[in-house]
Structure 1
């Protein structure tokens, strides 16, 4: 009986502490290494951006427009327009799209909820919160995002539900 009580107590504590969103996407506690955070900061200085805020996970951001209402969560189906570029200035993608926020890279999962519907934000994401040491290739096999790249996103959150 004593073991049953301890077992139930463990289950209650374990499951109450688990941050699951209810849609299958879990909150991650990934933090970029200090060295990557420093590289992002140096990049921002090189382009004369001094007002960007730093998130505790290590990405930097500039809110251009907060937007109105609520912010999306990991389960939200978001609609946005964005451009993604490398620090060299090379644009690797620019489009309007919709997807479930929880299915994206960590920097977007943490950065997009800073704004609300109609909001506009710039995110400066270190490799650990993006694709890390993986190369991302297009359909023809050409590398469009080299491994260990800092990514820069300019995002307008159109809608979410």
Structure 2
């Protein structure tokens, strides 16, 4: 085979390989579709789940204007809480199937926790106890902490004792 013909076939094969690589790369990236997340739509889904849960379990929860549900078990009588406060709590966090994913005692600035707590904890005072049923959009939505056992878009059920406010 003459060298010019051989060079021609090599060039064609190289072009085919290059085209194949480009097509595979484009295909791989187009199959990595980003997960579309609509918080308003998810809040409606969560609300239906929560309403079914509280009805089934006869929980006298109140719906806050934000969309979280709460039950004040003890209003407390101490200091009023704001998001600017640091708080001390004893708490337990559960999924709606009853499995516990977290609990214990913790001290933290209220501004550094999930939005559901930022909304719910100020509904009680020092010494109070509250149950918060938090829609996923006010918890971890599609980004739960790794290894927490919390699935994406999980509604969370907390019982929180507010032991101190600073």
- 1:83 matched residue in structure 2: 92
Looking at CA atoms only, which structure, 1 or 2, has the larger radius of gyration?
2
**1:41 partnered with 2:51:** yes
Q: CA deviation at 1:159?
A: 0.3
* Pairing of 1:5-44 with structure 2 (within 5 A): 33-44=43-54
Match of 2:144 among 111, 118, 135: 135
* Pairing of 1:78-157 with structure 2 (within 5 A): 78-138=87-147, 143-157=148-162
Which of the pair is proportionally richer in helix?
2
Paired residues in the alignment total 127
**1:73 partnered with 2:64:** no
Q: CA deviation at 1:71?
A: 1.7
Q: Which runs of 4+ in 1 moved over 3 A?
A: none
- 1:11 matched residue in structure 2: none
Q: CA deviation at 1:135?
A: 3.0
> Residues of 1 paired with 2:44 and 2:153: CA distance?
14
For the aligned residues, what is the CA RMSD? 1.6
Q: Report the TM-score when normalising by structure 2.
A: 0.72
- Unpaired runs of 5+ in structure 1? 1-29
> Residues of 1 paired with 2:109 and 2:79: CA distance?
16
- Unpaired runs of 5+ in structure 2? 1-38
Q: Report the TM-score when normalising by structure 1.
A: 0.74
- 2:163 matched residue in structure 1: 158
> Residues of 1 paired with 2:43 and 2:140: CA distance?
14
> Residues of 1 paired with 2:150 and 2:103: CA distance?
14
Give the secondary-structure state (helix, strand or coil) at the position aligned to 2:149: strand
